[in-house]
């Protein structure tokens, strides 16, 4: 079964952000045509909300091989803000806690504070089979495994506001990823 378009888009976006194909760029020792296989587990949570008059989006990701990444984007009447962080361990046994340095974006970027994200997550519902195939940077990448939905309760504190986030994409994954040179 193929994943939904939005899930696949989240995973492809996260893959690009984290530089995952870079591992596949290393020459395989068994020969130029040998596939590179990895087993990857982790979580993806994408949330949004309002902090006062500002719209907030947050993307949280972890991968057993590539680490964790947290990204924030804020838009409001006073401009755009953003930030990212690579916490050592973002997802811990059902809870999420991280801080992201926030910068005011524009012609002259400047520090604007720290966003604090805390929350809870729990796996929920059946496992969904995953089979994704795509091409990236000279490789055919095939991901096979499962996703499982996450129930979430997330809160963000930033720029003098605390608000609850709604998480539309939230799932745990367990994948065998095979990267084969084109």
pLDDT, residue 40, reads 98
Closest to 175 measured CA to CA, from 55, 42, 40, 74 = 40
Give the number of other CB atoms < 10 A from CB of residue 89.
Answer: 11
Q: Count of domains in the chain? A: 1
pLDDT, residue 21, reads 37
pLDDT, residue 75, reads 96
Asked if the structure places residue 67 within a domain, the reply is yes
SS (H, E, C) 36-94: EEEEEEEEEEEEEEEECCEEEEEEEEEECCCEEEEEEEEEECCEEEEEEECCCCCEECC
pLDDT, residue 20, reads 41
Cα separation, 173 vs 180, in Å, equals 21
Asked if the structure places residue 97 within a domain, the reply is yes
User: Residues 129, 4: contact at Cβ < 8 Å?
Assistant: no
What pTM, to 2 d.p., does this model score? Answer: 0.81
Which letter does DSSP use for residue 11 in this model? H
% of the chain surpassing 90 pLDDT: 75
User: Residues 96, 81: contact at Cβ < 8 Å?
Assistant: no
Cα separation, 66 vs 106, in Å, equals 30
pLDDT digits (tens, 9 = 90+) for 38-94: 999 999 999 999 988 999 999 999 999 999 999 999 999 999 999 999 999 999 999
Asked if the structure places residue 53 within a domain, the reply is yes
% of the chain surpassing 70 pLDDT: 82
pLDDT digits (tens, 9 = 90+) for 147-180: 999 999 999 999 889 999 999 999 999 999 999 9
Looking at per-residue pLDDT, the higher value among 19 and 180 belongs to 180
Domain that includes residue 164, residue range = 5-19+37-181
Q: Where are the alpha helices (DSSP H) in 64-172?
A: none
Residue 4 binned pLDDT confidence (cut-offs 50, 70, 90): very low
> What's the chain's Rg over C-alpha atoms?
18
pLDDT, residue 74, reads 96
pLDDT, residue 108, reads 82
Write the CA distances from 17 to 29, 70, 84, 87, integer angstroms: 26, 11, 11, 15
∠ CA(22), CA(24), CA(26), 5° rounding? 85
Which letter does DSSP use for residue 28 in this model? P
pLDDT, residue 31, reads 64
Cα separation, 103 vs 178, in Å, equals 37
């Amino acid at each position: 079964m193929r994943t939904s378009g939005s899930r696949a888009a989240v995973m492809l976006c996260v893959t690009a952000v984290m530089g995952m194909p870079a591992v596949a760029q290393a020459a395989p020792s068994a020969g130029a045509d040998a596939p590179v296989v990895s087993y990857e587990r982790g979580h993806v949570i994408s949330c949004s909300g309002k902090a006062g008059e500002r719209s907030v989006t947050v993307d949280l990701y972890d991968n057993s091989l590539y680490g964790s990444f947290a990204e924030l984007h804020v838009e409001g009447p006073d401009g755009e803000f953003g930030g990212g962080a690579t916490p050592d361990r973002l997802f811990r046994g059902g809870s999420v806690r991280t801080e992201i340095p926030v910068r005011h974006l524009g012609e002259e970027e400047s520090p604007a504070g720290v966003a604090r994200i805390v929350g809870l997550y729990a796996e929920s519902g059946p496992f969904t089979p995953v089979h994704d195939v795509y091409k990236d940077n000279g490789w055919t990448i095939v991901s096979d495994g499962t996703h499982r939905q996450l129930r979430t309760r997330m809160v963000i504190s930033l720029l003098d506001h605390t608000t609850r986030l709604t998480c539309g994409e939230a799932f745990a994954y367990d994948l065998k990823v095979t990267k084969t040179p084109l």
